[in-house]
Structure 1
Amino acid sequence: MISVLALGACSGDDPEPKVADPSPSATLPSSPSTTPVSGPVEPTMPAEARGTDAAAAEAFVKFYWEMVNYAQATGDVEGVRDLAPQCGTCDAAINYIVDVYDRGGRIEGGEGRFRHLRANFLDHEGGVRALVRGDLASAEQRVDLPGSRNDQSFPGGTLPFELLLEAGADGWTVLTMGQQ
């Protein structure tokens, strides 16, 4: 079984900031630090996902799942929530992530990638809708909660998956998602 609802890792407290002595004897660094920021970076929607054709719908699904992967890794669900404001299945997955992080846990692994995507358009009076189907390949995942009694593990694997999208003025949104 693949955990789609248990949509990676890394959470921690930021250290207490240290402020330099403001006295005139304090010396300023000669150049800014070039140490890279560690940790996941929120994905940016690619230009390819901004149209209303099949290629754009497929690119949007790939981007959406990058946002799911980011949410799992960080506990930051706002971006993925914005992409699926009416999707009940998506809400359940998002709420699971929120619950894990709120309880002091973290999600390790479980990154998913779509392969063999194909979009079909549906007749809909209200606008453009696309049903995008493909194979969702997920890595093994571990949900680590405080203590060990409530920890969960999910094997990786591949399953047929589909997302129903709707095109709007601000781009695509996810209406539903699930196994085919």
Structure 2
Amino acid sequence: MTNRNRLKLLMTASLAVAGLTACTSSSPEAGRPDTAAPSTAASSASASTPVTKSPGKPPERPAAAQGLSLAAAEAFVRYYSDLMNYSSDSGDVSAMLGASDAGCEACKAYADFVKKSNAANGLLTGDYYEHVTEVSELVRGANGRLGGSAVVTIGKYVSRDKPSASPFTTPATTYTREVALSAQGGSWVMYELRQEAQ
């Protein structure tokens, strides 16, 4: 079994334990002795704050997303969504991949897509920003990784693979993104992710 196939096993274990150790976006640290108190900004936000639609600088990791607590993991999941939004704007995937494990296949697939189709080159238009509305079920595995899920909403958008291609319209949707995080340099990085329609 490869490490990537273990994501499913980790997610299954996470869901089994979630009844006892579930963590919601309003209280990731509840009953958790190993978590730091969230910052005021992190605890008052119920959705990720999207970066501006400008191919300027990528968003910096917020202080709340630093460290290896469960509260930091929740803030990191929201921050990672902001990195994905920035990559969709600019086509620059370096910051997003820098916050990803080297073996994260879904991260690489997303990066490959937005390198070709992004707002900066005009091949991605509409309401394509992701908004994380909830992060829950954050559970530490025996291997030190952390699993959980996030509820994500996205608006209607249009994408094309190349300028001459027919446009593809994606309707507004809400989905659940299952995530697995691993520790790197004293903070969380995206180990793997996958989405499921709600």
Shared fold by TM > 0.5?
A: yes
Q: Distance in 1 between matches of 2:103 and 2:159?
A: 26
> Cα distance, 1:107 vs. partner?
1.4
Whichever residue aligns with residue 92 of structure 2, its letter is: D
Runs of 4+ in 1 over 3 A off after TM superposition: none
> Cα distance, 1:90 vs. partner?
1.0
Match of 1:79 among 88, 92, 95: 95
Equivalent residue, structure 1, for 2:153: 137
Q: Does the Cα contact within 8 Å between 2:97 and 2:108 map onto a contact in 1?
A: yes
Equivalent residue, structure 1, for 2:109: 92
Whichever residue aligns with residue 64 of structure 1, its letter is: Y
> Cα distance, 1:100 vs. partner?
2.5
Q: Distance in 2 between matches of 1:53 and 1:129?
A: 11
Equivalent residue, structure 2, for 1:117: 135
Q: Deviations over 1:125-156 (max 9, x none)?
A: xxx31112121111111114413x42111011
Whichever residue aligns with residue 195 of structure 2, its letter is: Q
Q: Secondary structure at the match of 1:64?
A: helix
> Cα distance, 1:170 vs. partner?
4.6
TM-score by length of 1: 0.69
Q: Distance in 2 between matches of 1:100 and 1:159?
A: 21
Q: Does the Cα contact within 8 Å between 1:114 and 1:136 map onto a contact in 2?
A: yes
Q: Distance in 2 between matches of 1:169 and 1:39?
A: 29
Q: Distance in 1 between matches of 2:75 and 2:148?
A: 10
Q: Distance in 1 between matches of 2:123 and 2:182?
A: 32
Q: Deviations over 1:58-112 (max 9, x none)?
A: 10010001000000011111111111122001111111111235xx552123110
Q: Would you tell me which structure has more helix in proportion to its own residues?
A: 2
Show structure 2 runs of 5+ residues with no match: 1-52
Q: Distance in 2 between matches of 1:173 and 1:158?
A: 24
Q: Distance in 1 between matches of 2:122 and 2:114?
A: 9
Show structure 1 runs of 5+ residues with no match: 1-37
RMSD of the TM alignment (CA)? 1.8
What count of residue pairs does the alignment treat as equivalent? 137
Q: Does the Cα contact within 8 Å between 2:91 and 2:116 map onto a contact in 1?
A: no
Larger Rg: 1
Q: Distance in 2 between matches of 1:68 and 1:80?
A: 6
Q: Does the Cα contact within 8 Å between 2:67 and 2:186 map onto a contact in 1?
A: no
Q: Does the Cα contact within 8 Å between 1:136 and 1:159 map onto a contact in 2?
A: yes
TM-score by length of 2: 0.64
